[in-house]
Structure 1
Amino acid sequence: MAKVIIVTGVSRGIGRSIVDTIFKLSPDTIVYGIARSEKPLQELKSTYGDNFYYVVGDITDASKLEQLTQNAISQHGKIDSVVANAGVLEPVESIHNADIDAWKKLYDINFFSIVSLVKITLPYVSKSNGNYVFVSSDASTMYFSNWGAYGSSKAALNHLALTVANEEKSVKCLAVAPGIFDTSMQVNIRENVGSNMSKEHHEMFKDLKASNKLLDSNVPATVYSKLALNGIPEAINGTYISFDAPELKDYQI
């Protein structure tokens, strides 16, 4: 029976790549996606037809997550995996100049929406002995100047993976860093928010692009897709790990 997978933030970047890769690896899979922009969702629907379904909305709106979940259950009867991808980088600012309301908004998107998503989908993912795959970041354990909001939210996400895996024995959960790949977030760093970072870190990101060292998004997307389709290895359940770790060699391109 075909797998049923929820993916958030599917309109662009790695979220879009994850959807495309899932269908490349397993064309009969059913994917339910959510994003704020309808046009990219319509394009996915046009491409994948009756294998792709979507809800237009903000992931911080629990009613939209409920709608997405209930659509999957009413139409396909189960949820096998959830890939929590949607997230934002800004505010990029020093702790001295922290806009607390902006930090809270980022946390609502990067962390609390995922707590809500897990709570809403857990009865069904548990029934399927399924998987939660969280898109984390190297910034969760490394310092990038003025990324305190983003990095700490991803660190919280890592701990959420640990919590879910230990509290819910019928599911597996993993937080995976995707490396530095070529998306609109990188453009934003180079052209906009990078000016709020240290010169050293800003130049580092610009040099990665100039030297063609940014990953294609399908490289980490393959890891997320295979984890959602094939399951999380017991040995790394509940951990935080990089997409290129030896433990994930069977999931890499």
Structure 2
Amino acid sequence: MNDTTTHNTPAAGWSGNPVAVITGASQGLGLALARGLAERGWSLVIDARTPDKLAAADYELSKLTTVIALAGDVTDDDHRADLAEAAADLGGASLLVNNASALGGSPMPALAAFPLPDLLATFEVNVLAPLALAQLLLPQLREHGGEIVNISSDAAVEPYAGWGGYGASKAALDHASAILALEEPKVRVWAVDPGDLRTQMHQDAFPGEDISDLPLPETVVPGFLRLIDERRPSGRYQASDLLPAAPAAVADAEVA
């Protein structure tokens, strides 16, 4: 853990230093979101399964804000309890980002040959763990009128061969998010599809293929920040729909 004093402006609508818990924050989208929030003065509780990568993220982010980095697996009961306790120590979570996800295999198996232990593990990471962590953090989130971001996928709504395990788990998470939103009126619950990004997970989904044409995770962070800033209603969103319009697009719209 590295504690530093930040001089950044907190996110709109908040006073003091709001606290975000972000899982899978050592790389990819999780790290990009952590960086975006840190630059706005959010305090962070982050985790990842790989200690060395998490330590590198901790080192970077701690230059911007207060960070508690805990290595561990989101499917572990004790680890989730540690994350909730760390958030409480910082004043209580205002935001939970359930970003940690599992593909189920690389390359991903067809459903007819999907090893059931691997399928179970996929659902444990992608559905059970996010809900279990939400249960622990809901008292803090209710107190702060906070939000939950569950990272979804287009595979949750579109059938792609080979994506059955991952897609089914994300579809379950989407539905659970919608129900949780109805049951928790003091907390906004968003399922967000970030789109196809240049991440290690996407590379694992297409082993040996060139994914250099995909956008970096940093490109969609403004969409997530807009969602948080505007405190939009609970629901399912696509990050691309939340991105600011390009100047040329705005000019065209004005002319039309």
- What TM-score range do you get, normalising by the shorter chain? 0.7 to 0.9
| Equivalent pairs, count | 228
Gaps in structure 2 of 5+ consecutive residues: 1-15, 248-256
Q: Which region of structure 1 is more displaced relative to structure 2, 170-179 or 90-99?
A: 90-99
Residue 243 of structure 1 is matched in structure 2 by 239
Secondary structure of the residue aligned to 2:149 is strand
Q: Calculate the TM-score normalised by the size of structure 2.
A: 0.83
Secondary structure of the residue aligned to 2:240 is coil
Residue 34 of structure 1 is matched in structure 2 by 47
Q: Percent identity?
A: 24
Output the CA distance in 2 between the equivalents of 1:66 and 1:186. Answer: 29
Give the alignment's Cα RMSD to 1 decimal.
2.1
> Contact 1:226–1:251 (CA<8 Å) still a contact in 2?
no
Residue 227 of structure 1 is matched in structure 2 by 227
Distance 1:68 1:226, change over 3 A: farther
Q: CA deviation at 1:189?
A: 2.8
Which of 132, 140, 146 aligns to 2:156? It is 140
Secondary structure of the residue aligned to 2:196 is coil
Output the CA distance in 2 between the equivalents of 1:98 and 1:37. Answer: 26
Give the 5 Å matches for 1:1-253. 1-24=16-39, 26=40, 28-49=41-62, 51-74=66-89, 76-91=90-105, 92-191=108-207, 206=209, 209=211, 212=213, 214-228=214-228, 230=229, 232-234=231-233, 237=234, 239-245=235-241, 248-249=242-243
Q: Calculate the TM-score normalised by the size of structure 1.
A: 0.83
Q: CA deviation at 1:46?
A: 2.1
Distance 1:13 1:48, change over 3 A: closer
Q: CA deviation at 1:252?
A: 10
Q: CA deviation at 1:225?
A: 4.0
Which has more helix, going by share of residues? 1
> Contact 1:133–1:227 (CA<8 Å) still a contact in 2?
no
Distance 1:252 1:109, change over 3 A: farther
> Runs of 4 or more off by more than 3 Å in structure 1?
225-228, 249-253
Q: Which region of structure 1 is more displaced relative to structure 2, 44-53 or 64-73?
A: 44-53
> Contact 2:97–2:150 (CA<8 Å) still a contact in 1?
yes
Q: CA deviation at 1:90?
A: 1.9
Q: CA deviation at 1:251?
A: 10
Distance 1:225 1:33, change over 3 A: farther
Secondary structure of the residue aligned to 1:32 is strand
Distance 1:175 1:103, change over 3 A: same
Output the CA distance in 2 between the equivalents of 1:84 and 1:66. Answer: 15
Output the CA distance in 1 between the equivalents of 2:136 and 2:28. Answer: 25
Q: CA deviation at 1:232?
A: 3.1
Amino acid in the other structure paired with 2:135: K
Q: CA deviation at 1:5?
A: 0.5
Output the CA distance in 2 between the equivalents of 1:226 and 1:68. Answer: 25
Output the CA distance in 2 between the equivalents of 1:128 and 1:121. Answer: 11
Q: CA deviation at 1:190?
A: 2.8
> Contact 2:49–2:71 (CA<8 Å) still a contact in 1?
yes
